A = this chain, B = another copy of it.
Amino acid sequence: MKWWGWGDPEKRNELGETAREMLRSELGAAEPTEVPPIESVSLPAPRELPNAVSQAVGPEAVVVADADRLLRAGGKSYPDLVRARSGAVEAAPDAVVLPSEAEEVASVLQACAVEGVAVVPFGGGTSVVGGVDPFVGSHRAVIALDLSRMNACEVDRTSLIARLGPGLRGPQAEAALAAEGLTLGHFPQSFEYATIGGFAATRSAGQASAGYGRFDDLVSSIEMATPSGPIRTLETRHTAAGPALRELIVGSEGTLGVITDVSVRVRTVPVTKRYEGWIAEDFEAGAEVIRTLAQDGALPDVTRLSDPEETRISLAMAGMEGLQRSAFETYLRLRKRAGGCMLITGWEGTAEDVERRRSISARILRNGGAVSLGQAPGKAWAHGRYEGPYLRDELMSLGYFVETLETSHTWARYHELYDAVRSGLRGALEAAGTPGIVMCHLSHAYADGASLYYTFIAPSVPGSEIEHWRAVKTAACEAIVATGGTITHHHAVGRDHAPYMQAEVGEVGLSALRALKEELDPGGIMNPGKLLTSVD
């Protein structure tokens, strides 16, 4: 993973000249930035780690080299990347500790609790909300507890449950399962790097979650090491025995303990995957047809509706140039869907099942005014499904501020939320003197509501990138809170959304969650400054 951006350092997602020209014409000139050489990056000197901590796991499992510390100095949020690219990284873990089993995690937590060392559980490091930023708080040091060595996979074929180590990355987990003809079916945009433990800790939702379930739906049992001792839920999740402990561990973002084991539901690998493109008349009509699909039990496994702005920009960015693009536009005009909204649908399963479900969905889509574009746009989407973060790196290098955020609401208040957040974002970008492109898509639908995912691009403000980001982010969060949407549908809370937790769960709700933390982590060493406590 790049220390200054996303993914494979050898891979780029370079923008074509047409796309760059479009950005210039939409946003004005931007000032390209250079990534400094790694040798020039300054990290704070590591604080000394108490002996008890390295003894807990063995000295060979404690790494203090700057390159290792730098890679765990943050996640992949815009502020994280701004800080990394600045070359002056102000906070880094004092050491990286790599346990290989749950008992070692427990020993490390014990030692850290006694010695007053903060612990940031670290999986893929893909958080986009500051979830792994290494705050030391009032403690004497802070470690990144890297779980990559905990990568077991054990399958119960009878129950179709796989017991997975928290450090398994998405592709590792899928490869281990594929060897048994199985799949987890969890494919968020961060799939290539994010881990099983991270999926559970953040309530991740994948692109095909309508078909396979959100990650929290997939967890059958879970184990967490806490400074107060281990918690393990029963093998079966189907119980009426009180408040669901599983649902306290899932979503706890490393602030209560370290997830050491996750058992998940798995399925037979689908034989057929079919992705298609459609054009809906407009965003409202598209959302309405998705609502019908969801409420009729006919939702495709993947559903993604872009608003007019995202449709326009993504067609332009996709590099549909010259004849091909103009032919496409003519086609849409002829069908009176110019200005319409791109809708991607996907079905996975047996050939027979995909065909049957597709034909039911297609009828509802056509009744709702959507026009089929065939499989090409669907295939293009599937091909590029993990490319977004690479594109962000390119845009940042070109001098743009680019960020995403997401929320959800009931269908009744969905459009109100859509308008409020869009206005909030546009207004804040304008107020900052950087009017930008604000795009949105609906990517997760349910019978009772759906998510909204915003992407916005504007010229960055060199030297004040984080203040600029904060002003815009705050406007969006306040619009979400004022409209009663959730502060996060699947990115989690981390550092960036922690100030909005009281709006999310209320004063008494927040006190209840904090009481839980006090019980499990009385020293407050677990992932300080995230979720239940906030810094800045």
Contacts and interface: CB of A to CB of B under 8 A. Distances in A.
A487 B236 CA distance: 11
A267 B297 CA distance: 11
Contacts of A531: 242
B156 A412 contact: yes
B238 A446 contact: yes
A205 B240 CA distance: 9
Interface in A205-246: 205, 214, 216, 220, 226, 228-246
A233 B505 CA distance: 6
Interface in A42-87: none
- How many copies of this chain are found per oligomer? 2
Contact of A203 (B226, B232, B240, B516): B240
A508 B230 contact: yes
B449 A159 contact: yes
Given A243-B250, A486-B238, A512 B408 contact: no
B248 A243 contact: yes
A138 to B, nearest CB: 22
Contact of A512 (B486, B505, B516): B516
Given A240-B202, A412-B158, A448 B248 contact: no
Contact of A240 (B231, B409, B489, B520): B489
A250 B247 CA distance: 11
A509 interface: yes
Contacts of A485: 234, 236
A451 interface: yes
Interface string A453-466: 00000000000000
A242 B412 contact: no
Contacts of A512: 231, 245, 248, 516, 519-520
Interface stretch (A303-311, A328-336, A490-498): A490-498
A515 B513 contact: no
Contacts of A446: 238
A474 interface: no
A378 interface: no
Contacts of A412: 156, 158-159, 161
B484 A235 contact: yes
Contacts of A111: none
Interface in A503-524: 504-509, 511-516, 518-520
Given A231-B509, A236-B409, A236-B410, A242 B448 contact: no
Contacts of A361: none
Given A242-B505, A493-B241, A501-B242, A159 B410 contact: yes
A291 B161 CA distance: 13
A523 B509 CA distance: 18
A252 interface: yes
B486 A236 contact: yes
A413 interface: yes
A486 B448 contact: no
A284 to B, nearest CB: 12
A381 interface: no
B508 A234 contact: no
Contacts of A295: 160
A489 B237 CA distance: 9
Contacts of A410: 156, 158-159, 161, 220, 235-236
Contacts of A267: 447
Contact of A506 (B231, B492, B532): B231
Contacts of A515: 515-516, 518-519
B235 A158 contact: no
Nearest to A257: B508
A126 to B, nearest CB: 14
Interface string A118-145: 0000000000000000000000000000
A411 interface: yes
B244 A487 contact: no
A256 B243 CA distance: 10
A411 B266 CA distance: 14
A212 to B, nearest CB: 11
23 contacts: A156-B412, A161-B410, A220-B410, A231-B509, A231-B512, A234-B504, A235-B409, A237-B448, A240-B251, A240-B490, A240-B491, A241-B251, A241-B493, A241-B505, A242-B251, A242-B252, A242-B493, A242-B501, A243-B247, A243-B516, A265-B448, A512-B519, A512-B520
- Can you list the 7 inter-chain pairs with the closest CB atoms, starting with the nearest? A515-B519, A247-B247, A203-B240, A239-B486, A159-B410, A244-B247, A243-B248
Given A228-B511, A244-B250, 14 more contacts: A159-B448, A160-B295, A202-B240, A203-B240, A231-B509, A238-B446, A238-B450, A239-B489, A240-B488, A241-B492, A248-B248, A512-B519, A512-B520, A515-B518
